Structure 1
Amino acid sequence: MTRFNDLFDRWAEDYDRTVAGLHPEYREVFAGYRAILEKVVQELGLSPGAKVLEIGVGTGNLSQLLLAAGLDVVGVEPSTQMRQGALAKLPDLALYEGHFLQLPSTIGLVDGVVSTYAFHHLLDQEKRQALTLLHRSVKPGGRLVFADTVFKNEDIRGQMRQEAKDKGFLQLANDLEREYYPLLEPLQQMFADTGWKAQFQQLNRYVWLMRADKQSS
């Protein structure tokens, strides 16, 4: 799970400019970025004081909105440089080194889990393991809300990859080839198999919202 740490350590300084749409190759990936983060908080649907685990905090943009909503936020982030960026914005954030498969034991049970632009860094088997682990980490009736790149099918994934190449967006095309972006139907089955009742909504050409409620074992 730390396989992309070097990349994110290098990206940390420019990350906020990228999500703001200033990198032409990733403009569509991050289209409506602020609204996507707000949608995650809205769909979480928790009252002030509820405890939320955020995985892949990055530079703390979602964390800011969660804290503004009065939530008790605990974050994990594997990249040292990203953690430093987040703490520069939010020095009081409870932030730990960790990732989807490595959660600090001190966190305990939480009311909800959120993550944006991070779940695709897991291999499919790791995604399944993470969903199983998070199901155990959330209180009964708890909710998980992710926003990340998902493709409806393999044809669309191939079309988007070719489109990036045709535009000369070679960095984006490389990302689409090397990272582990899931397909919608297998992802839906993965959530169901691990005890989640999930709904999926497309938010831009790349990003889908995944809202999942914990089901009884």
Structure 2
Amino acid sequence: MGREFISLFENWADSYDDTVVGHDLQYKEVFRNYDGILDDVVKRSGHQVIEFGVGTGNLTAKLLAAGKKVCGIEPSKAMREMAAGKLPKDAAVLDGDFLDFPAPPFSPDTIVSSYAFHHLTNEEKREAVRQYGKILRKHGKIVFADTVFKDRKAFHSAVKDAEEKGFHQLAEDLETEHYPTLSEMETIFTSEHFSIAFQKHNDFVWVMEAAKL
């Protein structure tokens, strides 16, 4: 359920914020327009938000600054500690993951995440969306920003391009984690009674907005 990648984030916590601003050339395109991507998620969100995969708290901070009520969920202790250093003292960031998480302290109208849903297999993604459908009110939304590929051909092309550029860590990342295609994400959401729309932000990342029917 994504926790197999916790050690990665325990080790990445101290340098994650440097990566998202483009200091790691391999991931520069992945995080291009990072602030704009997070802003788009905030803009599409309602007022009572659960955030999965808080990381160092960058999206959380933007949601709170926009006046939204936020309950954050993050499985990595190191990431939670980094987030605590930049968020208000009363900000709630709880231990949990996409599938195993404490009951939220309020009834959410939106569930958000950035750069994290690909840690789940497609079967786990669907189970997560099924759970969210049970806790969201009618017309509630899921707004995720994540790496998604147009199709499998585009995925294999991205891996090949990374290898040719000598970006071996990026290539290994793409082949190790569970990056979906647009059609796979559409099937997951529509099969759980959500409508879904996609907005592309760079060569890797799309914002997905799913509304509960």
TM-score by length of 2: 0.97
Aligned position for 2:14: 13
Provide the C-alpha distance between the structure 1 equivalents of 2:61 and 2:42, rounded to a whole number of angstroms: 11
Provide the C-alpha distance between the structure 1 equivalents of 2:107 and 2:32, rounded to a whole number of angstroms: 33
Contact 2:9 2:78 in 1 (8 A): yes
Tell me whether 1:41 sits opposite 2:29 in the alignment.
no
- Give, as a single letter, the amino acid of the residue that structure 2 aligns with 1:193: S
Aligned residues: 211
Percent identity over the alignment is 45
Which structure 1 segments of 5+ residues have no match?
none
Match of 2:67 among 67, 70, 86: 70
SS of structure 2 residue aligned to 1:139: coil
Contact 2:51 2:112 in 1 (8 A): yes
Which structure 2 segments of 5+ residues have no match?
none
Aligned position for 2:114: 116
* Alpha-carbon offset, residue 164 of structure 1: 0.4
Provide the C-alpha distance between the structure 1 equivalents of 2:27 and 2:86, rounded to a whole number of angstroms: 23
Aligned position for 2:170: 172
TM-score by length of 1: 0.95
Contact 2:50 2:104 in 1 (8 A): no
Provide the C-alpha distance between the structure 1 equivalents of 2:160 and 2:203, rounded to a whole number of angstroms: 15
Provide the C-alpha distance between the structure 2 equivalents of 1:126 and 1:138, rounded to a whole number of angstroms: 18
* Alpha-carbon offset, residue 92 of structure 1: 2.1
CA RMSD of aligned residues (A): 0.9
* Alpha-carbon offset, residue 195 of structure 1: 1.1
Provide the C-alpha distance between the structure 1 equivalents of 2:64 and 2:30, rounded to a whole number of angstroms: 25
Contact 1:53 1:114 in 2 (8 A): yes
**Worse-superposed segment, 118-127 or 99-108:** 99-108
Aligned position for 1:83: 80
Aligned position for 1:96: 94
Match of 2:127 among 120, 126, 129: 129
Match of 1:203 among 198, 201, 204: 201
Q: Deviations over 1:67-114 (max 9, x none)?
A: 011111000000010000001111321110001101202435311110
